[in-house]
Amino acid sequence: MVARTALVTGSTSGIGLAIALDLARNGLNVLLNGLEPPELAIANPTYSELSAHGTKVRYYQADLRNPSNIQDLFHFCNAELGPVDVLVNNAGIQHIAAVEEFPVELWDSILATNLTAAFHTTRLALPTMRSRNWGRIINIASVHGLVASPRKSAYVAAKHGLVGFTKSVALETATTGVTVNAICPGWVLTPLVQKQIDARVSNDNLSYELATQQLLSEKQPSEQFVTPQQIAELVTFLCSPSANNIRGSAWNIDGGWLAQ
């Protein structure tokens, strides 16, 4: 049996890299993507770890705000690994500011990266998935795709849009072997969240430990970070036959955030 191919966007660190590792462990060829030049990405020790699982691993530098870059990403994948069977839209950026102070260019960048890029990757992946009658599209949204927080208008708008997009495409593919779902993590200790902790340390003169505890306790009743590995294993489950009839779902993995 020919190994399936997964494209994971924004996969040089954090959640995306954990997802890529878990998919490789489970026998998929993986195309990594990020903004780093190829020589830097390939020099990452984790790149060798990915390759050690016996599947093919490639990297392609692409700015997902640019639709032509996304087109080139798919051309590269087809040439190196074959068509995309599993698409994980993980790339995301964040900025925090009151809406009247929000830089227009950052609003545009956040919407382009977190939402519009998923439209372009999905439209390019779906034709082959349909022709093979099998595929998985998994959008890494956020708990902020289901509820809001202040000063995050662009991120919340993009992630709400991504959840809605997920549901719509899931309905369009409901009678096929292609499933489309979203995962909505709460606080994960990614570089985006690390910046928020660091800002509390600096602005409120808190210790790192207290700033972290305050961040978690305000939203996440478990007071524990969701881990990239937990998200990765949920992605792998959604790729399994057990998930064949999970369609259009928005799985919150959030330490109880939405249960409140």
Q: pLDDT of 48-66, one tens digit each?
A: 889 888 999 999 999 999 9
Q: What are 227-238's pLDDT values in tens digits? A: 999 999 999 999
Q: How far apart are CA 58 and CA 74, in angstroms?
A: 12
Q: Which domains does the chain have, with CATH numbers?
A: 5-188+227-259 (3.40.50.720), 189-225 (no CATH)
Q: 73 pLDDT exceeds 60?
A: yes
Tell whether the model's pLDDT for residue 1 goes beyond 70.
no
Mean pLDDT, the chain, whole residue set: 96
**Model's pTM, two decimal places?**
0.95
Specify whether 155 is catalytic: yes
* Other Cβ atoms within 10 Å of 43 Cβ, number: 11
Q: What is the side-by-side strand order in the sheet with 135-140?
A: 57-61, 29-34, 5-8, 86-89, 135-140, 178-185, 250-253
Report CA Rg, the chain.
18
- pLDDT computed for residue 256 by the predictor: 98
Catalytic site residue from 47, 59, 60, 155: 155
pLDDT per position as a tens digit, 96-126: 999 999 999 999 999 999 999 999 999 999 9
